[in-house]
Amino acid sequence: MPRHRSEPSRAPRSSRSIAAGITTAIILLAVAGLPSRAAAAAPARPNVLFIAIDDLRVEIGCYGASHVTTPHIDRLAASGMRFDRAYVQAAFCNPSRASFLTGLRPDRTGVLDNTTWFRSRLPDVVTLPQLFKESGYQTVRLGKIYHGEKSMEDPKAWDAALYPKGTERGGRGEGRNLTGGEVPWCRWMAAEGGDEDQPDGQIAREAVAFLSKRPQKPFFLAVGFHKPHDPFVAPAGYFEHYPLDELKLHRDPPDRAADVPFAIPPRGWKTAFDKFSDRERREFLRAYYACTTFVDAQVGKVLRALEDFGLAGSTIVVLLSDHGYHLGERGWWNKNTLFELTARSPLIVRAPAMRAKGQGCSRLVEFVDIYPTLADLCGLPPPAGLPGRSFGPLLDDPAQRWKDGAFTQLVRGRVAGRTVRTERWRCTEWDEGRQGVELYDHEADSGEYSNLAEDPKHADVLAKLRAQLRRAFQPEPAKVRQDAGE
């Protein structure tokens, strides 16, 4: 079968009919009252379609990766703006999502692990969807937006919410654990059935059903897709895009600098990753890419529905991933580092009135900027004290001067890691430098393999960037336990 297929795999009729029964009364109540097409096309305020993808790195077509099949995300970028230097404030799930949904940095939310619910630290914070709900928008969540399900969800934010589970058929298929069971999540499956046997396929279906009602009120529809997050499960047809023997493995340069002690999680999964054979590395790549193409197909269904139901011209679309990912670089196959690969993430925005459609933007933006940007574009007053800045002006003129730094942080046990990315440099401190300092020149070293922190020729640059880190962060972030992944 050819590597790049034009059509995604589809569920058989029986699977679709079973899945169709999942559409809940709460969603139907949320869209009650069907106005005319004209009324839906021109609300007083723009709608928002907020698409969050889990663990998607910038290795997709519109970011220059022609070997990965993502035609629908690519088309969105061609009609909106692709941000080439967009950085998360934490490089794994819960801290990142708590940050961009509150508009606050992780040292302000107090969420630096995957177990802390943000409202246990900030009970009165007004989240991004909550702002829209309190401003008269209809807010609906489908799938994963906050980290976790009911135990860590936020009823203040939503009029309706649904978390599909997939079908029994979608949980069967060919696959294996790549670590012999040592790391439970590290497995793939080319699943039986079609798209709607998977949770993400059902999420896309529910989003289309919502949009088909042409909601009367302006809406904030949050669509949270799970893939390409592990376990790497997708319908079998998506694996056929990526023949195993054609996949190219990453090889670090043999002379790269040794990593400082906490740059890669020092225990646990890394031991299992170091045992991978080349075949297991290729199986990991194939499964991750298959899940990427699968989630792209689900994005395409939702974007087509905007067009089909006359809503595209009145809807702001934001597509993002909660962080990036390593695929073998530095021997690591996960997130949770302060390197470019995980701190940088896809961000695509399309707004009806923007002037620079189809352009890329190389200015620095942070995910804490998303909250004030959407408030700005929709004419809503954001809470006072948000550290982010609306990048709405970049949607008209992406070349103008902008931020001078983007900041990401994490903790490993009691060791805090903080990094600043400028348009040229990355500087990282561990325990304020006591456990290591890193300095990388992206003009010469985009892979961050040559640590210049001890090179006296760059002492002035290093001092300036370390001072920038000191100004950006509180004296010490909360000391909390951090799991390496999700």
The question of whether 4 is a catalytic residue gets the answer no
* CB neighbours of residue 383 within 10 Å: 16
Distance between CA atoms of 378 and 401, rounded to whole angstroms? 24
Sheet holding 425-430, edge to edge: 406-412, 415-421, 425-430, 437-441
Q: Decide: residue 69, CB within 10 A, 0-12 exposed, 13-18 middle, 19+ buried.
A: buried
Query: What is the secondary structure of 34-100 as a DSSP string?
Result: ---HHHHHS-SS-EEEEEEESS--S-SGGGT-TTS--HHHHHHHHHSEEEEEEE-SSSSHHHHHHHH
Structure tokens, 420: 């600043």
Which among 93, 291, 378, 427 is annotated as catalytic?
Answer: 93
User: Residues 466, 429: contact at Cβ < 8 Å?
Assistant: yes
Q: Could you confirm whether 93 is annotated as catalytic?
A: yes
CB neighbour class for 253 (10 Å; exposed up to 12, middle 13-18, buried from 19): exposed
> Which is it for strands 415-421 and 425-430: parallel, antiparallel or unpaired?
antiparallel
Q: If phi over 0 gives left and psi between -120 and 50 gives alpha, with beta otherwise, what is residue 76?
A: alpha
Q: Are 350 and 76 in contact (CB under 8 A)?
A: yes
- Which has the closest alpha carbon to 293: 207, 358, 235? 235
The Cα diameter of the chain in Å comes to: 68
**Residue 36 identity:** S
- For 290, the token pair is 């298959």
CB neighbours (10 Å) of residue 205? 24
Q: What are phi and psi of 421, to 5 degrees?
A: -115, 120
The dihedrals phi and psi of 216, each to the nearest 5 degrees, come to: -75, -40
CA atoms within 13 A on the CB side of 369: 23
Question: Which of 4, 62, 72, 147 is the catalytic position?
Answer: 147
Cα–Cα distances in Å, from 85 out to 60, 234, 351, 376?
Answer: 15, 29, 19, 21
Closest by CA position to 429, among listed 390, 457, 370, 471:
471
Question: Cα 50–51–56 angle (5° rounding)?
Answer: 145
Active site residues: 93, 147
